[in-house]
Amino acid sequence: MKTENVENAVLETWTVDEVARARDKQEIVLIDVRTPQEYMFEHIEGALLMPLVFFDAKSLPGQSDKRIVFHCGSGARSEKVARQAVAAGFEKVAHLDGGFGAWKSAGQPYIGTDMGSGAPKRMSQEK
């Protein structure tokens, strides 16, 4: 995990493995900031959707129990949103380094679209 002190807060950049472990232990709230279309086509199971274009830090859940971790396609949008959350007063936020692309490249499971039926389907890729 990389950390950066921003104002009076810590901005963390997590690896795929760190996010996967914390997600499996239910220690984080994972928020996808991609578009609704990107999310519907494929997403990390359990991730909530809060698109960058509609992002409002005041709508985020509190951090009393779980850390908030943002992700997008490549890491650029999630870093932008994480910085906005810090500016809104959140003291510890994180984002996924490399985004959903890194998640898929690492062979982590996700929800995709069955191209034959158009229905959601659990997917995984070979590492």
| Residue pLDDT tens, the chain, 127 long | 898 888 778 899 999 999 999 999 999 999 999 999 999 999 999 999 999 999 988 888 776 778 899 999 999 999 999 999 999 888 878 999 999 999 999 999 999 999 999 999 999 865 5
- Residues 92 and 36 sit within 8 Å (Cβ to Cβ): no
Asked whether residue 59 is domain-assigned, the answer is: yes
Choosing from 30, 72, 94, 96, the catalytic residue is 72
CATH number for the domain that contains residue 51: 3.40.250.10
Asked whether residue 124 is domain-assigned, the answer is: no
Q: Specify the DSSP element, H or E, that contains 88.
A: none
Residue 70 annotated among the catalytic residues of the structure: no
Asked whether residue 82 is domain-assigned, the answer is: yes
When divided into structural domains, the chain yields a total of: 1
Asked whether residue 101 is domain-assigned, the answer is: yes
pTM of the model: 0.91
Q: Domain range holding 59? A: 2-117
Asked whether residue 69 is domain-assigned, the answer is: yes
